[in-house]
Each structure stands twice: as C-alpha cells, then as structure tokens.
Amino acid sequence: MPGRRATERKGDLRERAILDTCETLLADKGFDAMTVGDLAQGAGITRGALYFYFGSKQEVVTALVARTVEHLWERSRATAEAEEPREAITAALDRTVELWNAHGPVLRTAIDRSLTVPEIGALWDRTADLFIAAITAVLERAGIPGGSGADRAPALARALCWMIERTFYHASQESRANLRKAAGTCEHIWLRTAGLTP
C-alpha cells in the first residue's frame, strides 16, 4: 500500500501542475488559443499523460473553475455568518476583489463558458446561489424583510449578486485600480439597499 499512496500523491501533484498551467495560459493566451499541447508542456508531461487526467482542454478548464469557485464558496459562507452588516459588506467586497485580482482570467472564463459548458454552468449557478444566500443573510441582519416580494431581501440579493458579477467582470479587464473602484461602487449600492447609508 505505501507505493499506492505515493502514486496518488504524484498524481495529485501532476493534476495541480496541469491546473496551474491552465490558469497561466488563460491569462497569457485565452481559452481559444490555448492547446492541449500547451497544457502538457507547461505541466512538464506528455500529451498522452495529460489525457490520463483529463479528456480535453475543456475538462481541464472545468476542473480549474471548480478549484477556483471552491475559494468563492468558502468566502461566501464566511460572509453569511460574519460581523455586523456594514462590516460584512465591506469584508465581502474586499475578499471578492482579492479573488478577482488573483484569478480574474479563470473567473471571466467561467462566466464566458457558463452558457455553453453545462458543467461550468452548474458550478457557476451554484456559486451564484451561495452568494445570493450570503447577501440575503446580510440584508436580513440589516433589517430588510425576507419573503418573495420584489423589495424583499432574496430578490434584492439576487439583483446585487448579478450586478456585482458583471461589474467585476468588466472592471477586472481594465486594471486593479478600476476593480477597486468598482468594488467601492458596489459597496455603496449594497449599503444603500440595506438602508445603511445616511
């Protein structure tokens, strides 16, 4: 059995190398220009070896998106349970800026492919649902009532979530300064929605 464990660890390292290479290539070349050969070369393995782990570059990207949104899920859960509403909103957007700065090309690829790749679409929808739940919890703690009306916390949270996604998507293509500015605008809108501005 010791040999089997060593093989699994080596496999995990290779899989991580493939995903890390994919993230670099998305930033440098984009999805369309990236090839399986690029992925294999960057990971230090043959094309044949890469196919042992993934059946296509789309599968590699899907696995990378899954790894990245895991970080997003952790952040949204923390926000839902954290701090008083004003602090929670600031913390949520600060964390979101950090993630977009670190993984912008992956997040943009996830958004771009979510409508055409069912696995990525399901991951992104689940991520949005978790963020909507977290935003709803913050709004309710701020005194916005729950329920199904257009002015209730769940509906407002859904609109805020998709507004933040599109705003960050566009700002992240411009500069870190624009991303930070966009976060400030989103924070202002979220605070106003929660009734936390004078």
84 φψ region: left (φ > 0), alpha (ψ -120 to 50), beta (else) = beta
Confidence at residue 10, expressed as pLDDT on a 0 to 100 scale: 64
Helix axes 57-81, 118-141, angle to 10 degrees: 10
Domain layout of the chain by residue ranges = 1-55, 58-193
Q: Which CATH number fits domain 58-193: 1.10.357.10, 2.60.120.650, 1.10.580.10, 3.10.20.30?
A: 1.10.357.10
- CA 179/CA 161 separation, integer angstroms: 16
Confidence at residue 5, expressed as pLDDT on a 0 to 100 scale: 44
Same fold: 1-55 with 58-193: no
**Span 38-66, pLDDT tens digits:** 999 999 999 999 999 999 999 999 999 99
- Assigned superfamily of 1-55: Homeodomain-like (1.10.10.60)
| Residue carrying structure tokens 């990207």 | 61
Reported confidence tier of residue 163, pLDDT bands at 50, 70, 90: very high
Reported confidence tier of residue 69, pLDDT bands at 50, 70, 90: confident
**For range 21-34, the mean pLDDT:** 95
Residue 79 has pLDDT above 70, yes or no: no
CB contact at 8 A, 134 and 77: yes
